[in-house]
Amino acid sequence: MSTPTRIVIDTDPGIDDALAIMLALASPELEVLALTTVGGNTGLGNTTENALRLLHLLGRDDILVGAGADVPLVRRDSRPDEATHGADGLGGVRLEPAPRGADARGAVEMLVDVIEGSDRPVTLVALGPLTNVAALVAARPDVAARLERIVLMGGGARVLGNMTPAAEFNIWFDPEAAARVFAAGVPITMVGLDVTHQATTAPGDWDALRTDDAGPVARAVLGMVDHYTRFYLETVGTELTAQHDSLAVAVVVRPDLVTTRPAYVDVEYTGALTRGMTVVDLDDVAKHSPTADVALEVDAAAFGELLVSRVVELDRSLR
Ligand code: RIB
Ligand code: CA
């Protein structure tokens, strides 16, 4: 097998973030160097505690966690998405406390140290609002330029919004940060709603975990998935839940899961109705240089099989 891809995950766990972190740690193709946390699905205190507890659950107290921004760069009227993820961010699933806290360095300083300290390129996987990533780009553009790529879950090209008709949550939460990230000149893969809305799992997909000898990972996954499913049934009338963040991780594991097109992407942050919209010039109308590889199609069946099989295997390995 080839050398694992080194990644840092910036995240706002978050139910789908939690499954994405599990997928990353269950994938031998990846080496997870650190997690950094951001406010989004729930406040920073919860996202940081959730990240620490998830790593403890998975036997990975060795992976450092750096806490970042709780609020967006500019706006203060962004609000957590606690309807989807619950007030605690994990659908009410209680995990054992971790035996350690977040690293004293904080997210941006940790990102700098990890990227500078690696003798191989690092990929930044961004699963939440882009506040920390924008802060890294502003503070140390030289270090951001050393990134292999930023693979971000966010936005949409033809499927625009899940927070408003025009905006996806991660971009909506901090559109000024997102605009700075897309303009930073770092290679970006944008995994947006065009593909994540197809990257779904059904409750029955997780039946392999519903056994009498289910381990702690299985119990946590089932608790989170059940909460997530109830939300989807109540709000959109389907039991198919979008595994947005896991698809971003899966794209690092298997880039062939999605079909991308290079395009100029910018972010609207002044519009009354369009705040947080990713404006994706798929047909190169404005003749700007592309700023991202935008995922437009996905092999949803292959993604679902990868996610579920690896999380099930992870549970079995930790029983
Ligand atoms: O729009 C989906 C994104 O917003 C995911 O990252 C989810 O965790 C929420 O943060
Ligand atoms: Ca997220």
Per-residue confidence in pLDDT tens, the chain, 319 aa: 689 999 999 999 999 999 999 999 999 999 999 999 999 999 999 999 999 999 999 999 999 999 999 999 997 778 888 889 999 999 999 999 999 999 999 999 999 999 999 999 999 999 999 999 999 999 999 999 999 999 999 999 999 999 999 999 999 999 999 999 999 999 999 999 999 999 999 999 999 999 998 899 999 999 999 999 999 999 999 999 999 999 999 999 999 999 999 999 999 999 999 999 999 999 999 999 999 999 999 999 999 999 999 999 999 999 8
Quote the pLDDT of residue 317: 94
Quote the pLDDT of residue 79: 86
Rounded to the nearest angstrom, the distance between the alpha carbon of 97 and the centre of ligand 2 is: 21
pLDDT digit string, tens, across residues 104-129: 999 999 999 999 999 999 999 999 99
pTM over 0.95? The answer is: yes
Q: Is the CB of 17 under 6 A from ligand 1?
A: yes
Expressed in angstroms, the distance from the first to the final Cα of the chain is 26
Atom nearest to 153 CA in ligand 1 = 6
Q: What is the DSSP string of 223-282?
A: HHHHHHHHHHHHHHS-S-EE-HHHHHHHHHH-GGGEEEEEEEEEE--S-TTTTT-EEEET
Q: Which of 85, 197, 227, 244 is catalytic?
A: 244
Quote the pLDDT of residue 1: 64
- Distance from the Cα of residue 138 to its chain's centroid: 21
E strands along 23-148, which residues?
Answer: 30-37, 64-67, 122-126
CB-based contact 217:318 (threshold 8 Å)? yes
Would you state the torsion angle of the CA atoms of residues 102, 105, 111, 113, taken in this order, to the nearest 10 degrees? -130
Catalytic: 227?
Answer: no
CA distance 139 to 136: 5
Return the ∠ at Cα 25 (arms to 20 and 30), rounded to 5°: 100
Cβ atoms within 10 Å, residue 218: 22
Quote the pLDDT of residue 305: 98
Q: Is the CB of 162 under 6 A from ligand 1?
A: yes
Rounded to the nearest angstrom, the distance between the alpha carbon of 283 and the centre of ligand 1 is: 27
